[in-house]
Structure 1
Amino acid sequence: MGRTYKQLCLEERCEIARLSAGGSSIRQIAAALDRPPSTISRELNRNSGVQVGYKPSYAQQQMRARRWTGSRLEREPGLRRAVLERLGRGWSPEQVAGRLAREHGRRVISYESIYRFIYAQLTRTSDFSWRRYLPRGKSKRGRRGKRGGSPASFIEGRVSLDQRPIEVADRKTPGHWEADLMMFSKYGQQILAVHERTSRLLLGVPLASKLASGVAHHLVRLFEVLPQPIRRTVTFDNGTEFAAHLSLQSLLIKTFFCDPHAPWQKGGIENAIGRMRRFIPRNTDLEKLPTRRLRKSIAAYNNTRANALTSRPRQRSLLLKCCTSSVNPPSGLRRDDGWRSLAPYFAFSLRKAMMSARSFGS
């Protein structure tokens, strides 16, 4: 029969260090641990320092370093190509991991492994182009610190998020939106972005100014062409650009605001803007950005599934659930109308909203 070998564990290394410091010989240590003397001799020769001697924690680290053969994405070129190809198309690591698991019927790689691989490449190569594979494009992990005060007290008629209907939280009821400004490096350039919570649908309109009256007018232009069932509430942060939110009451839309310093409470639009940065970076000059490219960027976001495990476009569930209901259905549409008849209506509404908002801002 062949011999079987068992690696030394941390407890055994601690015992080796104690006995060695007490003056025990290699054979005495081997007898105490029921190990061959050659195992103890090799362990002491490999992991002993010239000045500090044998330390069990250092020996354990050395063992792990010798056994590490690189991450899976470094060892498997095919898997690396599949992951990087999807990341390059704008997918997040969570979506890539979910899609690979669905295609193979088992978990292939975790999203944390993908994040660690990208950040390891940034550290080892100092090539910061690797960060372009990440949704936020950050070269370091972590959150930014809080600074400054909150203008919440200057917003007239502000209603806290705590009073928002409970049905909004589970994302099952359509018609609840989140809004924010996508800012750019050049002064006076921003995009007004609105995001529907159920369908994850994103709409965006360039603004020439972020004055509260202008932002409110653009919001009214965007929402007035949509049916009432899909314009119920809008959630903002506490920026003064949304101080004229009461203008939306003419459309029977209720407005709510996040807690101070808590933009994560409207995480849908925050995530959407972060992902849009991959198509339209912060240093983009909106004056030189063609309208066609902006529309394509928004369409690329909307066509990317919010969850890689789903198989239907994100707009479909919203429109089929709302526009075909018996409450204020669009003219010419019946309850049994499908996506083919709804898509032209919604495309016309979206086109009309963007054109009217652009003409107002020009």
Structure 2
Amino acid sequence: MGRKSFEQFGIEERCEISRRRQAGESIRQIAAALDRAPSSISRELKRNTGATGYQSVYAGEQARARRWQGSRLLRDAELQARVLEGLRRGWSPEQVSRRLAQQDLQISYESIYRFIAAQIARTNDFSWRLYLPRAKSKRGFRGRKGGSPAEHIQQRVSIEKRPKAAADRRQAGHWEADLMLFARYGQAILTLHERTSRLTAIVRQPSKAAAPVAQTLQALLAPLPPALRRSITFDNGTEFALHYTLHQPLGLQTYFCDPHSPWQKGGVENANGRLRRWLPRGTNVEDLSPDQLLQIAQIYNHTPRKCLGFKTPAEVFAKVLHFKCESTASSPRQRHSVRK
């Protein structure tokens, strides 16, 4: 008697349910007459009964509305606009989702990712990927290998000897540094990243040479109180070969990742990936003014982060800086260097 697979109720069956229900028949009597399971009849009545009782036309409309499988962002133009506005600001789908949740607007970040992927598949317009922080049309990680000049760096100290306080991010003042390189030979931007607050500074470099990199690092960190310049971690690039010149003037320790292990300074690597949204590899750095770089740094440092409880790096660093310096006002040079 029972059906092997479930089938949706048709208009004829709904008319019969309505007629028999009005005649006072029980759920089991209706189920037997329609060769349906009593639970199916019960569920149909529970879901699709309106204020005036069970009506076949109204029940069909309710069922079709629930079966609509389109993206919520396509159905809700206002929510779509809010989401795209956040993505244009450089926020990740998760950051947009959590920020909207604070405003009582619920949309999961997976729904945002699926919406972008669906638009790319439907329109074959890959410009939709630019809404994502890494601007990738497919999600996933693509690693790469390279050589390492670690054995040629003087006074190199392995990351294994770095204090545990730096590794767990609980103590402020531990930094990471890296160079962002571009398609045009010799163009580079130095990235300096504080591990606790995720505050990031970016400064254009004249080249990959070690001397100007060391000078820039000293200029950025010198205005900070000693408690906020405890250590700095590098990869094994030759641009950091003069790291030891920072020891005495800044009073900080320098550490290096293991060869072929840039993930050991994951904070600045993550920052570089996010910054590529505004500084793709094909960028001509010579065309960027200091004000433009400052604006990019400001956008980055004022973007809420999940790891910070959806506070911004600028908010967290300001709190740390105030705690360390108490009422000491930051100088113009410091504000320019840290680029909050």
TM-score, normalised to structure 1, is 0.69
Partner of 1:281: 280
Q: 1:139 aligns with which of 133, 137, 140?
A: 137
Inter-partner Cα distance in structure 2 for 1:78 and 1:151: 53
Kindly indicate whether residue 301 of structure 2 is the aligned counterpart of residue 302 of structure 1: yes
Q: 2:226 aligns with which of 225, 228, 237?
A: 228
Inter-partner Cα distance in structure 2 for 1:316 and 1:142: 30
Q: Deviations over 1:88-147 (max 9, x none)?
A: 111111101111222218xx2222222222123223322111111111111222222323
Partner of 1:256: 255
Partner of 2:77: 77
AA matched with 1:173 = Q
Partner of 1:206: 204
Tell me, which stretches of 5 or more residues in structure 2 are unaligned? 8-31, 38-66
1:180 Cα shift? 0.7
Inter-partner Cα distance in structure 2 for 1:238 and 1:68: 54
CA 1:293–1:163: 2 relative to 1, 3 Å: same
AA matched with 1:113 = S
Tell me, which stretches of 5 or more residues in structure 1 are unaligned? 10-33, 40-66, 330-334, 355-362
CA 1:114–1:316: 2 relative to 1, 3 Å: closer
Kindly indicate whether residue 239 of structure 2 is the aligned counterpart of residue 241 of structure 1: yes
Q: Deviations over 1:148-182 (max 9, x none)?
A: 33332332222222221111233221111111111
Inter-partner Cα distance in structure 2 for 1:317 and 1:37: 65
1:7 Cα shift? 5.6
- Tell me the secondary structure at the aligned position of residue 98 of structure 2: helix
Inter-partner Cα distance in structure 2 for 1:349 and 1:140: 40
AA matched with 1:98 = R
Kindly indicate whether residue 313 of structure 2 is the aligned counterpart of residue 314 of structure 1: yes
1:173/1:198 contact within 8 Å kept: yes
1:301 Cα shift? 1.3
- Tell me the secondary structure at the aligned position of residue 103 of structure 1: coil
Inter-partner Cα distance in structure 2 for 1:311 and 1:174: 18
1:225/1:353 contact within 8 Å kept: no
Partner of 2:157: 159
Q: Deviations over 1:324-348 (max 9, x none)?
A: 44xxx5xxxxx4x3xxx63xx1543
- Tell me the secondary structure at the aligned position of residue 139 of structure 2: coil
Partner of 2:292: 293
Partner of 1:197: 195
- Tell me the secondary structure at the aligned position of residue 193 of structure 2: strand
Inter-partner Cα distance in structure 1 for 2:170 and 2:332: 23
- Tell me the secondary structure at the aligned position of residue 104 of structure 1: coil
AA matched with 1:178 = E
Inter-partner Cα distance in structure 1 for 2:262 and 2:5: 50
Aligned residues between the structures: 284
Partner of 1:182: 180
Q: 1:349 aligns with which of 334, 337, 340?
A: 334
1:98/1:308 contact within 8 Å kept: no
Inter-partner Cα distance in structure 2 for 1:308 and 1:239: 28
1:74/1:80 contact within 8 Å kept: yes
1:98/1:309 contact within 8 Å kept: no
Inter-partner Cα distance in structure 1 for 2:115 and 2:284: 32
Inter-partner Cα distance in structure 2 for 1:346 and 1:303: 20
TM-score, normalised to structure 2, is 0.74
1:309 Cα shift? 7.6
AA matched with 1:103 = Q
Inter-partner Cα distance in structure 2 for 1:218 and 1:119: 41
Inter-partner Cα distance in structure 2 for 1:303 and 1:266: 22
AA matched with 2:336 = R
Inter-partner Cα distance in structure 2 for 1:309 and 1:210: 32
CA 1:288–1:321: 2 relative to 1, 3 Å: closer
Partner of 2:266: 267
1:221/1:353 contact within 8 Å kept: no
Partner of 2:27: none
CA 1:147–1:171: 2 relative to 1, 3 Å: closer
Inter-partner Cα distance in structure 1 for 2:144 and 2:236: 14
AA matched with 2:179 = L
